[in-house]
Amino acid sequence: MQRKFLTNLIFLILLNLLIKPFWIFGIDRTVQNVVGSQDFGFYFTLLNFSFIFNILLDLGITNFNNRNIAQHTVLLKKHFSGILTLKLLLSVVYFVVTFSIAFLIGYRGHQLNLLALVGFNQFLISLIMYMRSNISGMLMFRTESLMSVFDRVLMIGIMSILLWGNVSSQPFKIEWFVYAQTAAYGFTAFVGFIIVVLKSGFRRLSWNPVFFLMILKKSAPFALLVLLMTLYHRIDSVLLERLLPDGDGETQVGIYAHAFRIMDAANQLAYLFAILLMPIFSKMIKEKQALIQMIKMPMTLLFTATFILAIGSWMYSYELMELLYLDNIQESASVLSILIFGSVAVAISYVFGTLLTANGDLKILIGIASFSMFVSFSLNALLIPHYAALGSAIANVSALFSSMILHLIFAYKQLNISFKPQFYLRLITFSLSVLGIAYVTFELGFEWWKNLGVFVFLSLIIAFFLRLLNIREIYFILSKREKELVVEE
C-alpha cells in the first residue's frame, strides 16, 4: 500500500509542479497586478462569498461518495445517475440561497452580475469534484492526477492569449478572468463525465426521491462538516470587506489575497496527499490493516516541507511580495509573515482529518470544525476593526492551529495512533535546527534569494540526517514487488 501511495504521489506532484506554479505565479499573480488590489479584492470577496454556500451544491455527497466507492466499487453503476440528478437539483437551491443572502447583505448591480458568473463556476467545480471522487474511489489515481491539472492547463492557454496575445485594445478586466474559468471548468467537467460514464454504464438521469433522501441522509454529516470548514477557511475576506469602510475593505481584501495566494499554493501539496490518502485509509481501515507507517510517511514529508516553507517565507516575506506584486508590498509582507504558518497546521490537519473521515468519526470532525469556526469568527470580529488584514491573518492562523491540535488529540484517542518518543524528538530537533539555520543564513550578506537557497539546502540536509526524509526507505518501498491493490484501468 505504501508503494502504491508513493508512486502515485510522485506522479501527482510532478504533474502539479509542472502546471500549478505557472498558474499561481504566472497567471493568477499577473491578473492581480493588472487589475489592481481593489478590483481583485472585489472579485476575491465574491469568490469567497460563493464558497461559503458551496456546500449546498454538494451537501457532502462528494466526500461520502469517495469513501463509499473506495470501499464498495460496485455501487458506482447503481448510484451515479441518481446522484447526478440530485446534484443538478441542488444547484437550483444553491443559486436561490446565494442570491437571496447576497441581496440581503447589500450586494447590488455589478456585484450580483459577477456573483452569478462566479456562482456558475462553483457549480462546474462541484461537478468536476464529484467526477473526480468517482475516479479516485475506483483507485484510478493516474487518471485522477491528470484531471487535477486539466482545468489549469486550459486556463493557462486561455489566459495567456488574453493577457499577452494583444487580442483586444481594451484594458484587461476581471470579468475576462472569470469567463476563462467558466470555459475551462465546463470542458473539464465534460471530460470527467465521459470518463465516469464509460466506467458506470450511465444511460440517463434517474428520478428517485427515495434514493435522493437516502443519499442526503448518509451525506448530511459530511455536508455539515464541509460547511463549517468552509466558513472558518473562507469567511475572513468576507468579514474584511463587510467590517471595514467602503473602498478600504476591498483594498484590505486585495492585500490579504496577496498573502493568501502564497499560503493557498502551499496548501495544494497537502491537498494532493489527502486525495490519495482518503481511499487508501478507507480501504486499510475496512481490511483492518496497520495504519501507523501509512500515517507517519505523509505526516513527516508534509511537516518537513511546510515548516521549511513557512520559515523561509517568514524571513523573506518582503522580498517575496516585492518580487510578486506591484502595490501594498509592506502590508502584504506583514500578512504573509503570519499567514504562511497556517500551512503547517493545514498539512497536519489534512492527514489526520482524512484519517478520521475514513474511520467515520464525523461527529468528532464536526465538533473540531465548530470550535475552529468559533475561534475564527470571534478573533476576526475582534481584530479586523483594529488591524484590518493583519488581524484577519492572526485569526485564520489561530483557528487553523486549534483545528490541528484537536485533530491530533482525537486521532490518538479514536485509533490509538501514537509515535515513539524518538520520533517527536527528531521533529523538535529539526524545528530548532531550521530556526537556527534561518538566522545564520539571513546574516550571510548575499543577495536574499541566495540566502534563501542556502537555507533550504541546509534544512533539507538536516531532514535527511535526522531521517525525516529517508531515501533508503523510499527506494525500498518503490522497488518492492508487492502486489498492487488495483491496476490502473
Tell me the per-residue pLDDT of 301-312, one tens digit each, with 9 for 90 and over: 999 999 999 999
pLDDT of residue 14: 80
pLDDT of residue 29: 87
Give the model's confidence band at 144: pLDDT under 50 very low, under 70 low, under 90 confident, else very high. Answer: confident
pLDDT at residue 107 above 60?
A: yes
pLDDT at residue 407 above 90?
A: yes
pLDDT of residue 464: 92
Q: Counting runs of H as helices and runs of E as strands, what totals does the chain give? A: 17, 0
Q: Where are the domains of the chain?
A: 2-479
Give the model's confidence band at 436: pLDDT under 50 very low, under 70 low, under 90 confident, else very high. Answer: very high
From residue 152, alpha-carbon distances to 9, 229, 332, 449 in Å are: 19, 24, 25, 28
Cβ–Cβ under 8 Å, residues 236 and 382: no
- Whole-prediction pTM value? 0.76
Q: How far apart are CA 296 and CA 468, in angstroms?
A: 10
Nearest to 38 by CA among 239, 178, 174: 174
Which whole number is the average pLDDT over 152-162? 94
Which whole number is the average pLDDT over 163-167? 88
Which whole number is the average pLDDT over 149-171? 91
Q: How far apart are CA 20 and CA 128, in angstroms?
A: 17
pLDDT of residue 365: 93
Which whole number is the average pLDDT over 262-275? 83
Nearest to 221 by CA among 74, 71, 68, 115: 68
Dihedral sign computed on CA atoms, order 208, 214, 219, 221: positive
pLDDT of residue 151: 92
What single-letter DSSP state applies at residue 22? I
Dihedral sign computed on CA atoms, order 121, 124, 126, 129: negative
- Which residues in 430-458 are b (16+ Cβ under 10 Å) and which e? beebbeebbeebeeeeeebeebbeebbeb
Which one of 241-245, 274-278, 337-341 scores highest in mean pLDDT?
A: 337-341
Which whole number is the average pLDDT over 381-409? 95
Residue 26 cell numbers, joined? 504566472
Q: What percent of the chain has pLDDT over 90?
A: 44
Cβ–Cβ under 8 Å, residues 190 and 197: no
Dihedral pair phi/psi, residue 357, rounded to 5°:
-65, -45
pLDDT of residue 1: 56
Instruction: Write down the residue that cell numbers 474511489 correspond to.
Output: 137
Contacts of 23 (CB under 8 A, 6+ apart): 152, 155, 156
